[in-house]
C-alpha cells in the first residue's frame, strides 16, 4: 500500500461513476462528502497501522500519509500548550477539508400536515406520524415489533435484535432506548394493528406490506424510500425520514429541552454530537432572550449622557 494507492482511493470515493477508468470531463458533484471520505481514510489507516505493528505489512501507512507543520500553524491552545507549544503540528496530508456543519434541515408543522394528508392509506400515515413525533431513525421504525409498543405507558421500545428479515437495524448499541409518545399516536398504532395484522400475518414487525405478492411481510427500506418519493411528487416537499427526525429534535431543543434529554431521545452515543447538532438558538429565540435581558444589562440614558432619562444601550 503506497501513498499513490491511497490517493487513488480518495479519488474513487469522490467519483460518482465508481470507476477510475471513467473520469468526468467537467466538474461533477462528489459521490461522498469530505466528512465521509475522512471517516473512510481513518478506518483504512488504522487497519494498515494494525497490520504494520503486527509485522504483517511492510509499509507504515500512517507515516507515509503524515507530514509535520511548524508549531505556529497550530489553530488552538490545548491544556498542555505550555509543554507542546514548540512541537510541530501533525497533519494527515490526505485529509479532505470539511465544510462547516450547518443546522439540520427541518420543515414546518404545516408541511408535516400536508405530508400526512397526502398519504393514501392508514399504514403510510401512521409511519409518517410516528417518524415525525418520535424522532426515531427509519431503521428503528422498521425494526419495531408489535410487542415493542407499550400501550399502558405510551412508549415505544427500541430494541437490538440482530439481523432481521427486512434488513432493518438500529444504528448502534446506544440506540436501544424507550421513547415516550402521545396517547393519540398509540391509539393510531392500535387501530392499524387491529386492521393490518390479521391471523394470516406471520411477522412480528409492526409495519408490513399491505398489497401485492408479499402482503403481510415486513416493510423494507426500499418501500419507505418509494413512499417518500411519492409524497414529494404529490406535495412538492423535499423530505426524508431523517428530516422528520431533525425537525422534531430541533423543535424540542427550541422548547428548552436539556441536551442530555435530547441525547437520550435521539439515541446518540455522544453528548457532543447532540449538542453541536441541535443546541443552536434560532434568531427569534435570540431576540426574545435579548429583549428579556435588555433592561437589566443596558445603561440608563441619564448615566450614559450625564442626564436622567430613559434606559438605553
* 167 part of a folded domain: yes
Q: Which residues pair with 300 in a beta bridge?
A: 311
Query: Which of 45, 123, 137, 265 is labelled catalytic?
Result: 137
Query: Which of 81, 103, 171, 287 is labelled catalytic?
Result: 171
**Together in a domain, 138 and 30:** no
Handedness of CA 291, 295, 297, 301 (dihedral sign): positive
Is the model more confident about 137 or about 103?
137
* 100 part of a folded domain: no
**Together in a domain, 125 and 247:** yes
* 28 part of a folded domain: yes
> Annotated catalytic, 137?
yes
**Together in a domain, 11 and 138:** no
What would the pLDDT profile of 267-287 be if each residue is shown by its tens digit? 988 877 787 777 776 677 788
Query: What's the confidence (pLDDT) of residue 310?
Result: 53
Residue 24's pLDDT band, with cuts at 50, 70 and 90, is confident
Query: What's the confidence (pLDDT) of residue 3?
Result: 84
Helix (H) or strand (E) holding 150: strand 149-150
> Annotated catalytic, 245?
yes
**Together in a domain, 201 and 72:** no
* 54 part of a folded domain: yes
Handedness of CA 239, 244, 250, 251 (dihedral sign): positive
Query: What's the confidence (pLDDT) of residue 112?
Result: 97
Exposure of 166 in the CB half-sphere (CA atoms within 13 A) = 28
* 257 part of a folded domain: no
Query: What's the confidence (pLDDT) of residue 32?
Result: 87
Is the model more confident about 309 or about 234?
234
pLDDT above 90 covers what percent of the chain? 49
Residue 304's pLDDT band, with cuts at 50, 70 and 90, is low
Helix (H) or strand (E) holding 89: strand 89-92
Instruction: Give yes or no for a contact between 102 and 238, defined as CB atoms under 8 angstroms apart.
Output: no
Q: Are strands 89-92 and 149-150 parallel, antiparallel or unpaired?
A: unpaired
Handedness of CA 57, 39, 228, 175 (dihedral sign): positive
Query: Residue 37 and residue 19: Cα distance in Å, rounded?
Result: 16
**Together in a domain, 123 and 243:** yes
Query: Which of 230, 234, 242, 280 is labelled catalytic?
Result: 242
* 192 part of a folded domain: yes
Q: What is the mean pLDDT of the chain?
A: 87
State the residue for C-alpha cell 397526502: 118
CB atoms within 10 A of CB 55: 7
Domain that holds residue 68: 3-92
Query: What's the confidence (pLDDT) of residue 173?
Result: 77
> Annotated catalytic, 268?
yes
Query: What's the confidence (pLDDT) of residue 303?
Result: 61
Mean pLDDT value across residues 114-124? 97
Domain end among 216, 251, 286:
251
**Together in a domain, 124 and 228:** yes
Query: Which of 177, 209, 246, 278 is labelled catalytic?
Result: 278
The CA–CA distances, whole Å, from 246 to 135, 153, 235, 294 equal 7, 25, 19, 32
| Phi, psi for 18 (deg, rounded to 5) | 70, 15
pLDDT above 70 covers what percent of the chain? 90
Whether pLDDT at 127 is above 90:
yes
Query: Which of 123, 129, 209, 245 is labelled catalytic?
Result: 245
Residue 116's pLDDT band, with cuts at 50, 70 and 90, is very high
* 189 part of a folded domain: yes
Residue 19's pLDDT band, with cuts at 50, 70 and 90, is confident
Whether pLDDT at 18 is above 60:
yes
Q: What is the CATH number of the domain that holds 210?
A: 1.10.443.10
**Together in a domain, 144 and 204:** yes
Q: Which three cell numbers stand for residue 241?
A: 425520514
**Together in a domain, 65 and 37:** yes
**Together in a domain, 245 and 125:** yes
Is the model more confident about 66 or about 134?
134
What would the pLDDT profile of 143-177 be if each residue is shown by its tens digit? 999 999 999 999 999 999 989 999 999 887 778 99
* 190 part of a folded domain: yes
Q: Tell which residue, 184, 208, 168, 195, has the closest CA to residue 134.
A: 184
Query: What's the confidence (pLDDT) of residue 284?
Result: 77
Instruction: Give yes or no for a contact between 134 and 179, defined as CB atoms under 8 angstroms apart.
Output: yes
**Together in a domain, 136 and 240:** yes
State the residue for C-alpha cell 427541518: 106
Helix ranges (H only) for the chain are 3-14, 34-53, 61-64, 81-84, 109-118, 122-134, 138-143, 183-196, 221-235, 241-254, 259-266, 271-278, 283-297, 301-305
What would the pLDDT profile of 170-223 be if each residue is shown by its tens digit? 887 778 999 999 999 999 999 999 999 999 999 999 999 998 999 999 999 999
**Together in a domain, 78 and 154:** no
Query: Which of 123, 209, 265, 268 is labelled catalytic?
Result: 268
Is the model more confident about 190 or about 301?
190
**Together in a domain, 83 and 202:** no
Q: Which three cell numbers stand for residue 221?
A: 427500506
The count of domains in the chain is 2
Q: Which three cell numbers stand for residue 291?
A: 429583549
Q: Tell which residue, 127, 223, 245, has the closest CA to residue 175.
A: 245
> Annotated catalytic, 278?
yes
Mean pLDDT value across residues 70-95? 72
Domain end among 203, 222, 251:
251
Query: What's the confidence (pLDDT) of residue 210?
Result: 93
Domain end among 219, 251, 283:
251
Query: Residue 267 and residue 257: Cα distance in Å, rounded?
Result: 15
171 three-class SS: coil
Amino acid at each position: 500500500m503506497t501513498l499513490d494507492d491511497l490517493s487513488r482511493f480518495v479519488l474513487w470515493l469522490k467519483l460518482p461513476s465508481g470507476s477510475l477508468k471513467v473520469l468526468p470531463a467537467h466538474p461533477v458533484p462528489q459521490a461522498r462528502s469530505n466528512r465521509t471520505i475522512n471517516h473512510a481514510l481513518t478506518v483504512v489507516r488504522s487497519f494498515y497501522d494494525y497490520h504494520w505493528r503486527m509485522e504483517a505489512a511492510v509499509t507504515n501507512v500512517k507515516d507515509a500519509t503524515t507530514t509535520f507543520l511548524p508549531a505556529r500553524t497550530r489553530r488552538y491552545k490545548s491544556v498542555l500548550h505550555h509543554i507542546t507549544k514548540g512541537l510541530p503540528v501533525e497533519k494527515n496530508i490526505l485529509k479532505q477539508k470539511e465544510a462547516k456543519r450547518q443546522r439540520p434541515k427541518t420543515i414546518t408543522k404545516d408541511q408535516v400536515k400536508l405530508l400526512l394528508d397526502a398519504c393514501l392509506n392508514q399504514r403510510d400515515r401512521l409511519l409518517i406520524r410516528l417518524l415525525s413525533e418520535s424522532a426515531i431513525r427509519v431503521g428503528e421504525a422498521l425494526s419495531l415489533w408489535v410487542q415493542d409498543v407499550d400501550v399502558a405507558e405510551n412508549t415505544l421500545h427500541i430494541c437490538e435484535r440482530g439481523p432481521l428479515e427486512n434488513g432493518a437495524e438500529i444504528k448502534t448499541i446506544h440506540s436501544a432506548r424507550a421513547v415516550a409518545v402521545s396517547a393519540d399516536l398509540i391509539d393510531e398504532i392500535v387501530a392499524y394493528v387491529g386492521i393490518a395484522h390479521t391471523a394470516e400475518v406471520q411477522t412480528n414487525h409492526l409495519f408490513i406490506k399491505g398489497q401485492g405478492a408479499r402482503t403481510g411481510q415486513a416493510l423494507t427500506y426500499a418501500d419507505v424510500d418509494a413512499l417518500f418519493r411519492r409524497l414529494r411528487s404529490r406535495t412538492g416537499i423535499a423530505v426524508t425520514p431523517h428530516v422528520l427526525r431533525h425537525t422534531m429534535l430541533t423543535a424540542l431543543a427550541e422548547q428548552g429541552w436539556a441536551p442530555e434529554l435530547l441525547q437520550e431521545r435521539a439515541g446518540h452515543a455522544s453528548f457532543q454530537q447532540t449538542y453541536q447538532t441541535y443546541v443552536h438558538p434560532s434568531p427569534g429565540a435570540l431576540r426574545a432572550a435579548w429583549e428579556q435581558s435588555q433592561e437589566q444589562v443596558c445603561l440608563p440614558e441619564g448615566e450614559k449622557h450625564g442626564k436622567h432619562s430613559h434606559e438605553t444601550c
